[in-house]
Amino acid sequence: MDVSSENDTAEYKAPERLLKFLVKNAERHQYDFNDESASHLLQEVYMSLLNYDESNWKYLVKEGPVSVTSKFRLPEVQKRQFGDEITDLGSEVCGHVFRNGEPVYRCRTCAMDNTCVLCARCFRNTNHDGHETHVSIPTDSNGICDCGDPEAWKVPLGCSIHASKDDGPKAEDVLPRELQESIHSTISTVLDFILDVFNCSPINLKATQTVDSVLEDERRSRLSETKYFVEDEQCSVFRVMLWNDEKHKFDDVIRLTMEAMNTNDWSFGEQVAQRVNSIGRFAVSTSRSIDDLLDIAQVFAKVDLAVNVRSARDFFRENDCGTLILWLYDLMESQICGYKGFLRDIICDELVKCWNSGLKHPTYDEPNLTTPYRKRFRQMNDGLNVEDFRPVVLRNIRQLINERRRMHSALPTERITLPGDYWKSPREEGLKVLSMAESPYSRLRLDYFFLYDLKYWKNLRNLLSELYVVPLNQNLQFKRAMAIRFSILYKTLSRAFLFADREPEHSVTFLSVQFFTTPSLAELLVLRYDFLTTANSSLYSLFTCQKRSRSTETGGPSIEINQRALVSQRNAMLFGDLGYLLMHPSVMGLVHSDKRFIKQYSDLFHLFQGILCHVRAVHEHVEWDSSIYKLLFVIYSVAKLGHKVACCYSSAPYEDMLYACNYLIDFILQPVHQNKKETEPSACLPAADYNETTPLVEHKVSSDSVSFYHPLHWVLSGIMKFMNPSRLSTWDDRTKLALMDHPLRAFVWLAQIDVGLWVRNGAKVRGMAHHYKHLTIYDYAFDKDLLLVQLMVSTLPPDLALNAIVQRFELTDWVASVSYEHSVYDSERLPLMVEKLLLMIVGLITEREQLQQLSVEELIKNRIAQQLVFGPVGVFLTFATYFGAVH
């Protein structure tokens, strides 16, 4: 398949009989989806695939025709009949999808990284004698065998199955032309029907429904007679559907089901709960009375369960679509005339063509997402609950989907108010000349399958994930096209995942690891589509509510932080996507050479600068607040991302490092905007005529706001690590004092917590101190602060550096006085604080791992020696925990 070809718009005549069948199937079975209706559907699509000629079964099975039932699986039949005769003719890659409980093989000697794996069949047919191999049985599924993927292995594996491409006749030369056209037209028809059905399905399952809205939904869901050759009749039967949300308990669902259905039958409620949990949804009741169904739905809705009322015809067709998607998956896994990839490649080819809508009342004539609407959306978005559906988010997603239907418009994206021109892509003009499969201005079937992800139920989402995964390594051209379409829709998909997904673990966004870990795809997306800017701006806009306040107390503009996005653990996936991109050498080179990116990351990291700050409680105890721990997850992701950004400068020219450092320093000392709420004051630049005895700005950790978290400093420290120390003389003493101030505050705060000065602030402050020193974040935060202080102290006059440290420890007056009294530290804590001061000075002098830029081997030896001082340490714990940032 050549997805880049301009001939990919070739159309095949749609089978009229199949189209009529798809419209009338629901009515024929009285809107009751069961094994019989599924059997009839499969019989029809298989016959349409074979051009309604039963003799064509010979191309699929040995003994045909076969009896097709709802349980019929073509790959299983072929495996029974052909056995080992099935070979991947013409296939250079395996792409086997792992099932639960299936062994996964790794060869660390051959693989590029730990994500590259082999199935048992390919492992046995490759030579790994003397290699470091490992076999495991993972608990999850959907992994892919990477045999044949040239980017997964350091050396050619020489697999006897996939080593070379077969030069024999191709499937196109063997199969009759009429059969090939029938296969194309059937698959095209099925894909369009699926999109027609789900186009009308609601995204927001918690919207308030009325009789009129349900009837209007039924009317707008009818299919077009022009396309389907038969009139779609009105449906007067309706159902109430209960949906899974991975949040409510079984007992809650059982109790509400009994209440809604006015029954004392516990077993019925239990059956509903189990079906909803296993399948993802369940029809609780069917009736011609919409009022009765709405009353039932209201019982579930009062506890925020996802429930909706629609016509039985539409629910039936959605179930039909589930059967058809399973059928497409079977075709991908099947062979025809010994060619296993032929049907798969046709499906891939049809997915990257335009959707030919067959709706009687198209939805793309809805109003545009106008500027006033966008403004109102941004204003309302602040109140979103991360775990719930909210109408404003889902309505916006629906509008985005509908805007994509407008033939004259480009792909819509959220218009985000970003701080500068460096957020704009310089590559937009070049994208207009790309092929349809690669252009952001085209509208393909695959796009809508991605966009409709929230409309599917759990089982269907799992099935679609397998459907997407199967061709990823088996058809590398389609993998490229899918990666491009995914990146084009990334902002919309990530927003839906973060704010509106009921079942986030089943989201299509987890395909990102398949695309962003592949070097050639990452380079393509970043260089041609400026995807790094897309990913950065997605994170920035999600965390800022897309809102900026006009002014702060200091008179400058401020940023409104989206607190609900901040505490969601889902944002770790978005940070992870950026991390995958930044591990590729070509992307790392672009980050340090293109000045836009250090500016973008400065804006992004500034959102978290000084976050989670506290003021010491002196007279009253602070009440317990458990929400603080939710924020620590995002801090870890931010710190890890900052480390990866800094590592992009490991081999950068001095000019690039100097530019990045200067920009970060200016941003730290004179930020263009201030985070609006609950952040540590950013002022740290001493006056031009500062006192050398107390050179730092006036700030007391014991009484003023203070924070552990300064990602801008962490990135700056990480970049300076790669610079020659002699280059640090570029900056004057005043600047160096300012740069070391915030890390010093963190160290002093840590010392004051250790001596019990912050005891009235409760357990949350102790928890934050533990987190700051914890091994999982130590290399990304504490170590970076220590290095920055070391770099500044080593180039400052010794007296000045020591005075600054003593001042921040609030011991200047005590050192100069003959009195042993202190205004803050009592007689018990004073010697302890002096001890902490001396220990810090000793640490600044002796902890020189980063200053010396030790090799990985030397660093590991040092770490092991340090940990063994405190007792024995397990091997796996050592390497997984203590060396997370060693590379």
Q: Give the list of residues 6+ apart from residue 340 with CB closer than 8 angstroms, or none.
A: 86, 87, 88, 89, 91, 334
Mean predicted confidence (pLDDT) in 388-402: 45
Q: Is residue 785 assigned to a domain?
A: yes
- Beta-bridge mates of residue 153: 111
| Exposure letters 268-292 (e unless 16+ CB within 10 A, then b) | ebbebbebbeeebbbbbbeeeebee
The Cα-based distances of 487 to 504, 526, 528 in angstroms read 19, 10, 11
221-239 mean pLDDT: 96
Instruction: Give the closest residue to 96 by CA, choosing from 144, 31, 157.
Output: 144
The answer as to whether 97 is a domain residue is no
> In this prediction, what percent of the chain has a pLDDT beyond 90?
58
Do the beta carbons of residue 404 and residue 567 sit within 8 Å? Answer: no
Q: How far apart are CA 483 and CA 514, in angstroms?
A: 9
Average pLDDT score over residue span 423-436: 69
Mean pLDDT along residues 735-743: 96
Question: What does the pLDDT read at residue 791?
Answer: 94
Burial class for 627, CB neighbours closer than 10 Å (0-12, 13-18, 19+): exposed
Q: Is 494 within the bounds of a domain?
A: no
Q: Do the beta carbons of residue 719 and residue 664 sit within 8 Å? A: yes
Q: Is residue 765 part of a domain?
A: yes
544 — pLDDT class (breaks 50, 70, 90): confident
**Does the pLDDT value for residue 664 go beyond 70?**
yes
The helix (H) or strand (E) run that includes residue 130 is none
Expressed as residue numbers, the domain containing 676 is 582-853
- Give the pLDDT of residue 6: 39
Residue 602 lies in a domain: yes
Per the domain annotation, does 121 fall within a domain?
Answer: no
Q: What is the DSSP letter of 200?
A: S
Predicted pLDDT at 13: 65
Q: How confident is the model at residue 367 (pLDDT cuts 50, 70, 90)?
A: very low
Q: Using 50, 70 and 90 to split pLDDT, how confident is the model at 749?
A: very high
How many domains does the structure of the chain reveal? 1
Position 455 confidence tier, pLDDT thresholds 50, 70, 90: very high
How far is 551 from 567, CA to CA, in rounded Å?
Answer: 25
Q: How far apart are CA 483 and CA 522, in angstroms?
A: 9
Query: What span, in angstroms and rounded, lies between the C-alpha atoms of 52 and 32?
Result: 26
What does the block give as tokens for 577? 């996507």
Determine what percent of the chain is predicted with pLDDT higher than 70.
84
Dihedral angle of Cα 221, 226, 230, 231, to the nearest 10 degrees? 50
The pLDDT of residue 580:
94
Residue 75's SS3 state is helix
Residues 6 or more apart whose Cβ sits within 8 Å of residue 223: 23, 196, 232, 358, 359, 360
Q: Does the structure show a pLDDT above 60 at 548?
A: no
Asked if residue 448 is part of any domain, the answer here is no
**Could you tell me if residue 500 is inside a domain?**
no
Average pLDDT over residues 659-664: 96
Element (H or E) spanning 243, and its range?
strand 238-243
> Considering the entire predicted model, what is its pTM?
0.87
Lowest mean pLDDT among 97-101, 215-219, 351-355, 386-390: 386-390
Amino acid 670 reads Q
137 against 74, higher pLDDT: 74
CA-based torsion, 492, 494, 495, 499: positive or negative: positive
Residues sharing a CB contact under 8 Å with residue 613, sequence separation 6 or more, in sequence order? 678, 679, 680, 705, 706, 707
